[in-house]
Amino acid sequence: MIAALRTAGTLLWRHWPALLALYLAGTLGRYVTIQVAGYVGAYSAIGGALLFPLAILSRLVALVAMLLVLRDGMVQLGVLAPIPTDRVARRRAFTDALLGGILPFVAFYAAWGYLREDAQAYFSRLLEINTGLIMETIGTDAERAGDAAVGELSFGPLTIAIIVVAFAGRWLWKRYRARLPRGLAAIAVYLEVLWVYLSVTLIADALNTVTSWVQTRQGSVWLGELREWVGAQLVPVAWIWDGIEWFLGEVGGIVLLPLAWLTIAGVIYGQAVAPQTARLSGGIVLRAQARYNTLPSRLRARLQDIWSDLIARFQPIGRAILLMWRAGPVLIGTYILLFTVLLWLDGALELGITRVIGPNDLGGFWMLNEPLIFLAVPLIIEPLRVVLVASAYDAVIGRLTPAPTGPPAEPEPGAEPDAAPDAEITAR
């Protein structure tokens, strides 16, 4: 891990101005998108729902750019997958990194509450515009402008149709990518984030509905009453139970957050690095494959295309997790510890800012200046976080590949490169 810290210091020294600029660009893009989407959503729920995913995409584009900027200083990754020198290849690598990172990033974005923060900001802006529209109609015979849906796009045929159209458009772009203009890659990225965002949102809403339904069932009430009775009769058992719940909750947050960041980095960098994955086997699998082979060839081809497109989104996540597993507990544990220190520094800086500024009027000072004041903290923390994640991933790669003994030799004219972009890592 000493080598990883040395790599982190080098990356930060070389690239911190670019990292700051990219983070600010992503933050500004998110803010502008939410403002525009909130304005449009007050008039059209569909329009707002179609624009809102661009706020997520703004942060993802900034994150991918920040990680890719650091590639030239990542020694181990550079040996295994050298940076493309051709402009077209670099653009294609950036697009592939974006498309590969959308699914894990949106899932991470929703799980850690960032999506909820964006949604709150979106509906705050939407309600502000909607209130103005209502005020304009008071005392007049005019009707409120827009569809009066107040930005709500509920589960229904229209939402399902948007998901299907977006998924189909993304699939068609992938299938005919070589024949289409390169400018359509931006539309493909948007379609990917649109259908993934809507799908994740609908799945989360369905899970919340099911959870709420289960919690109101009589069986859940009986279990709750039984737990309270056992806790009252056996107080030490209740203390131990509450302690275990608290410990699992705290450890889960401390461990899963850095691993989620490393997984996203593994997916983005892993577009060039792919470890071998396990294959399913057994009698059931063989019988299913035999039945599948009896289908008409055209039907099998179409099913294979759809299945490959779906699996391709999850394979990079599995590969990144597999890489972390093979790297060993010492390296991953040290990375988690450093990430936790960074989280502590984040909270300490926010607390320190409030102590330095001191007490001030809530409405006249903090309501106006809070966003700009506390922007200083992520400007310090986010470059450090991205550098830590990138250097940790480079160290993970270093555990699975031979360490470079010197600068790579210049290839002879016409010779094949030693490490292809799709090189595979085997377990040792």
pLDDT level of residue 234 (50, 70, 90 thresholds) = low
pLDDT at 274 over 70: no
pLDDT the model gives residue 21: 92
Where does residue 31 rank: exposed (0-12), middle (13-18), buried (19+ CB within 10 A)?
Answer: middle
Per-residue model confidence (pLDDT) at position 227: 64
**Which of the residue ranges 14-28, 113-127, 266-280, 339-353 has the most confident prediction, judged by mean pLDDT?**
14-28
Query: Higher pLDDT residue, 233 or 209?
Result: 209
Best CA proximity match to 92, nearest among 190, 180, 185: 185
| Cβ-contact 241, 231 below 8 angstroms | yes
Q: Which long-range contacts (CB under 8 A, 24 or more apart) does 346-349 make?
A: 346/377, 346/381, 349/376, 349/377, 349/380, 349/381
**Helix pair angle (184-215, 53-69), 10° resolution:** 120
pLDDT band for position 139 (50/70/90)? low
Whether the CA torsion 322, 327, 330, 334 is positive or negative: it is negative
Q: How many other β-carbons are positioned within 10 Å of the β-carbon of residue 184?
A: 15
pLDDT at 101: 79
Looking up tokens 């650091």 gives 70
Which of these ranges, 62-76, 298-312, 350-364, has the smallest mean pLDDT? 298-312
Q: Are 203 and 59 in contact (CB under 8 A)?
A: no
Gap between the Cα atoms of 187 and 189, Å rounded? 5
Question: What is residue 422's predicted lDDT score, i.e. its pLDDT?
Answer: 39
Average pLDDT on 224-250 reads 65
SS3 per-residue string spanning the chain: CHHHHHHHHHHHHHHHHHHHHHHHHHHHHHHHHHHHHHHHHHHCHHHHHHHCHHHHHHHHHHHHHHHHHHHHHCHHHHHHCCCCCCHHHHHHHHHHHHHHHHHHHHHHHHHCCHHHHHHHHHHHHHHHHHHHHHHHHCCCCCCCCCCCCCCCCCCCHHHHHHHHHHHHHHHHHHHCHHHCCCCHHHHHHHHHHHHHHHHHHHHHHHHHHHHHHHHCCHHHHHHHHHHHHHHHHCHHHHHHHHHHHHHHHHHHHHHHHHHHHHHHHHHHHCCCCEECCCCCCCHHHHHHHHHHHCCCHHHHHHHHHHHHHHHHHHHHHHHHHHHHHHHCHHHHHHHHHHHHHHHHHHHHHHHHHHHHHCCCCHHHHHHHHHHHHHCHHHHHHHHHHHHHHHHHHHHHHHHHCCCCCCCCCCCCCCCCCCCCCCCEECCC
Of the chain, the percentage scoring pLDDT greater than 90 comes to 6
**If you average pLDDT over residues 293-299, what whole number do you get?**
68
Task: Write down the residue that tokens 């071998």 correspond to.
Answer: 276
At 319, the pLDDT band (50, 70, 90 cuts) reads low
CA distance 391 to 381: 15
- Domain positions in the chain are 1-153+217-275+312-398, 155-216
| Calpha distance 33→54 (Å, rounded) | 6
Separation CA 411–CA 414 (nearest Å): 8
14-18, 114-118, 192-196, 282-286: which range is least confident on average?
Answer: 282-286
CA–CA separation, 271 and 13 (whole Å): 26
Q: Which of 35-49, 254-268, 393-407 shows the lowest mean pLDDT across its residues?
A: 393-407
* CA–CA separation, 34 and 51 (whole Å): 8
Residue 75: pLDDT above 50? yes
User: What tokens were used for 72?
Assistant: 């030239």
Q: What is the pLDDT of residue 152?
A: 59
User: What pLDDT band is residue 25 in, cutting at 50, 70 and 90?
Assistant: very high
User: What average pLDDT score do residues 322-330 get?
Assistant: 72
Q: Check residues 410 and 95 and name the one with the higher pLDDT.
A: 95
The stretch 71-83 carries a mean pLDDT of 76
Cα-Cα end-to-end distance for the chain: 19
Q: What is the mean pLDDT of the chain?
A: 74
Contact (Cβ atoms closer than 8 angstroms) between residue 79 and residue 404: yes
Give how far the C-alpha of residue 127 lies from the chain's centroid of Cα atoms, to the nearest Å: 28
Confidence at residue 30, expressed as pLDDT on a 0 to 100 scale = 92
pLDDT top residue among 403 and 86 = 86
Residues 368-422: tens digit of each pLDDT: 677 777 788 888 888 999 999 888 888 887 766 554 444 444 444 444 444 333 3
Local confidence band at 209 (pLDDT 50, 70, 90 cut-offs): confident
- Please state the φ and ψ torsions of residue 151, each to the nearest 5 degrees: 75, 0
Report which of 103, 315, 96 is spatially closest to residue 195, judged by C-alpha positions: 103
- pLDDT of 425: 37
Q: How far apart are CA 271 and CA 268, in angstroms?
A: 6
Q: Is it the case that residue 203 has pLDDT exceeding 50?
A: yes
